[in-house]
Amino acid sequence: MKKVLMVLSISLFLFSCGGGYTTEDIESETKNAVIESISETLDISSKNIEIDEYTLIQESGNVYSGILKTKYEGKKQTWDVKVIWDHDTDKYTLEWELKNEI
């Protein structure tokens, strides 16, 4: 049983090193783009938006979803975020929706 787990672990490690992006890489790559998209759509300054948390999980092969928590003008916002990543071209599309503001 230990051999099977070790082979699986090594296979997963080699796959992740093979040039593919991790979920953390995609978070890092898209975080500023989400903020820019929000600021442009709502016509507010992205410099005034503080990011408290941004977390994505992989739903399926190229679809990632998660939560973005921000602060803006003394209010806290929670956003649903969806990233569709084209692994062949390394381009992505973003969708976001305000879920809560306190």
Residue-wise pLDDT tens digits, 75-102: 999 999 999 998 888 889 999 999 999 9
Alpha helices in the chain (DSSP H): 2-17, 23-42
Task: Read off the pLDDT of residues 29-66 as tens digits, 9 standing for 90 and up.
Answer: 999 999 999 999 999 999 999 999 999 999 998 999 99
Nearest Cα neighbor of 34 from 83, 1, 74 is 83
**Nearest 5°: CA angle at 61, between 59 and 63?**
50
Interatomic CA distance for residues 97 and 99, integer angstroms:
6
Q: Which two tokens stand for residue 42?
A: 């709502």
**Nearest 5°: CA angle at 13, between 11 and 18?**
95
* pLDDT grade for 72, boundaries at 50, 70 and 90: very high
Position 16 scores a pLDDT of 43
In the chain the domains, ranked by start, together with CATH numbers, are 21-101 (3.10.450)
Check pLDDT > 60 for residue 13.
Answer: no
